[in-house]
Amino acid sequence: MPPAHGGRDRDTLIVADAGGQVFGSRIVRTPLDMIKTLQQECIQRVILLGRFARDFSFAAFLREAFPSIAVIIAGGRTNALGAPQLCDA
């Protein structure tokens, strides 16, 4: 039986302007939701999208407060949900 989270590892958290699911990973929309999730779950990677990716002081805070977590700043084009657009359609 596949895991309840759609077969994806739940060790990745996406912080973006829009809610919903992105590639089966968990997504939060506010810094408070992000901190709560990081304190309660075993997260290894945080991907910052949208306005969070453009806020370098937010990324620096995240790296300092949670040094064991990889912080990935996504750039480039995004779809309506704020997920990276991997190719031109």
> Angle 42-40-32 (CA atoms, 0-180°, nearest 5)?
115
In a domain, 84, yes or no: no
Q: Where are the beta strands (DSSP E) in the chain?
A: 12-15, 26-28, 45-48, 70-73
Structural domains of the chain, count: 1
pLDDT attached to residue 7: 40
Per-residue pLDDT tens over the stretch 16-51:
886 555 666 788 999 999 999 999 999 999 999 888
Q: How far is CA 44 from the centre of its chain?
A: 11
Residue 4 lies in a domain: no
Instruction: Reduce the DSSP state of residue 16 to 3 states and report it.
Output: coil
What's the confidence (pLDDT) of residue 76?
Answer: 55
pLDDT at residue 3 greater than cutoff 50: no
Q: What pTM does this model have?
A: 0.70
| CA separation for the pair 37, 26 (Å, rounded) | 10
Q: Are 11 and 38 in contact (CB under 8 A)?
A: no
Residues spanned by the domain of 60: 12-73
